[in-house]
């Protein structure tokens, strides 16, 4: 019978001429050896960047602000030029999000495929909008025909309301001119 294995021993390997490495400047890798049960810890130091790499990094840091300004200007220009396209797309996205629960309900309860359910919901929505337009055209036409008469009746009432305001405005302008 084999003797029980001994507990693992940790051995740290680092260069003798330097102080122990700080966690920020090194990477540690641990690899157990199955044959001996010894855990070896090796410390690898990061290479210091060369002078050319440091100069390149400084140059790129100096370009950060101009590039951000240019990116902002390009995005603003694209948004302004694409405004006529973006507004309908955003409106369609809101309508789609609003009608999604109805389409999902048709799919889950009535086993109607999603595309067919979306088509049915859109047809019902368009039919409802057309019906509302048909029902509102008669009252709207009547109101437009009666608008001149209503404006003629409102004009004397508005003049009575405007007289005190115009008198106060005239008095204020005279007072400001007398102070100057």
pLDDT value at residue 19: 46
Residue ranges in the chain modelled with pLDDT below 50: 14-21, 23-26
> What is the rounded distance in angstroms from the CA atom of residue 121 to the CA atom of residue 95?
11
> In this structure, what is the dihedral angle of CA atoms 62, 63, 67, 69, given to the nearest 10 degrees?
40
pLDDT value at residue 152: 86
Question: Do 146 and 138 form a contact (C-beta atoms < 8 A)?
Answer: no
pLDDT value at residue 62: 81
> What is the rounded distance in angstroms from the CA atom of residue 41 to the CA atom of residue 10?
7
CA 17 to chain centre: 54
pLDDT value at residue 164: 84
pLDDT value at residue 102: 93
What number of residues does the chain have? 180
Alpha-carbon radius of gyration of the chain: 40
pLDDT value at residue 121: 94
């Amino acid at each position: 019978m084999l003797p029980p294995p001994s507990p693992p021993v940790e051995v740290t390997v680092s260069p003798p001429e330097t102080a122990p490495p700080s966690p920020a400047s090194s990477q540690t890798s641990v690899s157990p050896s199955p044959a001996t049960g010894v855990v070896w810890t090796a410390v690898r130091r990061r290479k210091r960047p060369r002078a050319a790499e440091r100069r390149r990094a400084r140059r790129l840091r100096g370009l950060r602000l101009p590039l951000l300004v240019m990116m902002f200007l390009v995005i603003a220009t694209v948004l302004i030029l694409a405004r006529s396209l973006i507004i309908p797309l955003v409106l369609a996205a809101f309508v789609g999000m609003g009608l999604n629960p109805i389409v999902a309900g048709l799919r889950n309860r009535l086993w109607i495929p999603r595309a067919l359910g979306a088509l049915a919901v859109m047809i019902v929505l368009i039919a409802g909008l057309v019906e509302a337009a048909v029902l509102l055209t008669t009252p709207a036409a009547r109101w437009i025909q009666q608008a001149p008469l209503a404006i003629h009746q409102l004009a004397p009432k508005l003049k009575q309301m405007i007289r005190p305001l115009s008198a106060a405005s005239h008095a204020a302008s005279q007072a400001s001119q007398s102070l100057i």
